[in-house]
Structure 1
C-alpha cells in the first residue's frame, strides 16, 4: 500500500448512529479511524470548560499528585504538564461522556458486547512548549489477543490539531510484529515518509489501535492541544490475559452502567437514542451497583 494514496473514509456522527461495517474494516486494516462531529455545541463547550479547569490547576503549579504528570518543555526546559489521569473521576461531564451512544455502539461493533472501559486520561501539548512525542505503540500485547478483537483508544479532541501539532500515524502498523515496530521506532528523527498526518477539529475523534505506531512533532510555537483518551478492551481479553484482575472488570462494568444513566439525565442528550449495555455470559450484570468511586488505580488491580 502506498501511504500517500490512502483514502481515509468520511465518518460523521451527525448522520450516523455508529460506524458502518466498511468503516470498521478500515479501522481493523489500518489501525485508526477518524470520526467527525462527535462532540457538539453544549457538550463540547462543557467538556472543554471542565478540562480547562483541570489543565489550569496543573499548569499554574506543579501538583504533587500521581494523576498529574509532567515533562520538560521543549523551549523552556521547565516542568510542563503533559498528562492528567482518571478524568472521569474528576468531572461529572466526563462521566456522561463515557456513555456517548455513538462511541459505545462503535466500540461494540469492533469488540463485541462484553467490552470494558479501562484507561481514561487527558494528554496535553502545552502552549509554545510542544514536546515531541516519538514514534511508539501504546503497549505490546500477547499475540493471541489479536484474535479476540482490537484494543483501542477513543481520542476526543478539544482543540484544533493542525499540521504543527497533529498526530501522525503509520497505517497498517497495528499488524506489524514487535520486531518491525522496534526497528521503525529506532530510526533517528521524526521521520514521516511512511506516515500520514491526521488534522483534527474540536469535537472530532480518532479511534486508534494501541498497536498502531503514532507520534507527533514538537510543534514549537504551538497553541494548547488537549486530547481526552478513553481506552476500551474486549472483556474476553481482560479475563484471559489481564492485565487487570477479574474484580476490576466488574467494577468498571458497573461504572459504565452508571455513566450511561448519568448521560440520560443531562439536558444536552434529550434527543439521543441512548446506548444499552448488554454484556452476556460470564460478563452478564444482573443488577447494576452504584460505584463507590470512579477512580480504580491500575496498580491496585494489576495481576500479580
Structure 2
C-alpha cells in the first residue's frame, strides 16, 4: 500500500487527507514530532526509568516484567504512569502538534486517559503477538480511540511495529481468527520502521504486533492514549470524576510546557472543551497518577 506520512516540522497539525488515511487504515506515521532539546531530554529521562527497572530489587507495580525468550530471565517490558515520574513527560502531554491533531480526530472534548512506556530489551526483545489494545465500548463508536506512540529509539525490521491496515473495522470474530494463526504471520501486514522522534497514531482496534528480535537494540516507545470525552462518559470504563481529573492534568501540563525553552518557541495548544466538559476554573492536580482501578465504573 502507499503509506501516507505526515511531517510535524512542515505543518501545524495533520491534514484532512492524513486524517482520512488514519480513519481508513487505523494508523498514521508522523515524522519529526520530537527533535533537538526536547527529544534528548525525553530520551535521558526515560533511560533513567529504564535503568531503574532493569536494576530491579523493588516491588513497584508500575514496572512490569516478562520471561525473556532467549535467556528465560525476567525482562522489563513496560512502565506505567510515566507522566507522574517526569516533568519532561508532563510537558510532552501538551505537545501542540499532537493535541491539535488529536482534536481534529476526536473533537474538542478529548481526554488523555493513559500513559506508559513499552520496551524491547536489548538482545532479548520479547515478541508482541497480534492483538488489539482494547475493545470498543458498545461495539461501535463514531470517532476513534487511539494511542499516540512516541519513538525514542530507532525501530528497524527487527523491532518495529507491524500493522494490518483496516483491521480496526473487523468484527471480533475476524480479529480473533487472525490473532489465532500460529507464529508471527506478516502475510497481510506492513512494517512501520521508525526513527527517534517519530510518532505513530494507532487505533486501539487495529491489529498490530512485533517480532521477538534476535540481538536487537533497545527500543523505547512512550504511549499516550486519548479518548473522546462523550464516548468515555457514555460507555466508560472510567468514571466521570476521572475524566475531570485528567482534564485538569492536561491544563496543568499545557502551562508547564510554556515554561520550557522549546515550549516558549511555539504556539501553545488551547484546550477549550465545551458543554458538559467545559472547565470554569483550572485546578492544580493533586496527583499525576490517578490509578485506573480506582476510577473504573464496572
Query: Fold match, TM over 0.5?
Result: yes
- Offset at residue 173 of structure 1 (A): 0.1
Tell me if the contact between 2:153 and 2:220 (Cα under 8 Å) persists in the aligned partners: yes
Name the residue aligned to 2:205.
Answer: 211
- Offset at residue 232 of structure 1 (A): 0.1
Identify the match of residue 241 of structure 2 among 243, 247, 252: 247
Is 1:270–2:264 an aligned residue pair?
A: yes
- Offset at residue 63 of structure 1 (A): 3.3
Q: Which runs of 5+ in 1 are unaligned?
A: 1-5
Q: CA RMSD in A?
A: 0.8
Is 1:179–2:151 an aligned residue pair?
A: no
Name the residue aligned to 2:189.
Answer: 195
Distance 1:303 1:143, change over 3 A: closer
Q: TM-score, normalised by structure 2?
A: 0.99
Is 1:120–2:143 an aligned residue pair?
A: no
Distance 1:258 1:217, change over 3 A: same
Runs (4 or more) in structure 1 with deviation over 4 Å come to: none
Name the residue aligned to 1:137.
Answer: 132
Name the residue aligned to 1:162.
Answer: 156
Identify the match of residue 7 of structure 1 among 2, 5, 9: 2
Is 1:28–2:44 an aligned residue pair?
A: no
3-state secondary structure, aligned to 1:146: coil
Distance in 2 (CA, whole Å) between partners of 1:233 and 1:33 is 17
Q: Which runs of 5+ in 2 are unaligned?
A: none
Tell me if the contact between 1:145 and 1:237 (Cα under 8 Å) persists in the aligned partners: no
- Offset at residue 244 of structure 1 (A): 0.3
Q: Deviations over 1:42-70 (max 9, x none)?
A: 00000000000000000122531110000
Instruction: Spell out the pairing of 1:37-52 with structure 2 (5 A cutoff).
Output: 37-52=32-47
Distance in 2 (CA, whole Å) between partners of 1:270 and 1:260 is 11
Count of residues in correspondence between the two structures? 298
- Offset at residue 74 of structure 1 (A): 1.4
